[in-house]
Amino acid sequence: MGAVTKYPYPKHTWSPAGGWWNEPKNWKTRTGVLVGVMGLLLVPMISFAKKNNAHFSHLPAAQEE
């Protein structure tokens, strides 16, 4: 589905997305570094959010008799 055979394309065309069939040599390394950085940033944020979570009820407090 969606597979296209690679055909000749103009080499002088520039695209911010990388152009046709962009596969840099070190894409796996960059992806691994990005996953590691995201983990280093997200783990402390999630931990902080869990420790400082405040839950407020929209219901009035129950009255005791």
Kindly tell me if the per-residue pLDDT of 32 is higher than 80.
Answer: yes
User: What is the model's pTM?
Assistant: 0.53
Burial environment of residue 26 by CB neighbours within 10 A (0 to 12, 13 to 18, 19 or more): exposed
The mean pLDDT of the chain is: 82
**Which pLDDT belongs to residue 20?**
67
Taking each continuous run of H as one helix and of E as one strand, the counts in the chain are: 1, 0
- Condensed to tens digits (0 to 9), the pLDDT of residues 7-24 reads 777 767 767 666 666 777
Q: For residue 28, what are the domain limits?
A: 24-49
Kindly tell me if the per-residue pLDDT of 60 is higher than 70.
Answer: yes
The SS3 of residue 6 is: coil
Question: Structural domain tally of the chain?
Answer: 1
10 Å Cβ neighbour count for 4? Answer: 7
30 domain-assigned: yes
CA distances from 56 to 6, 17, 62 (A): 57, 45, 14
42 domain-assigned: yes
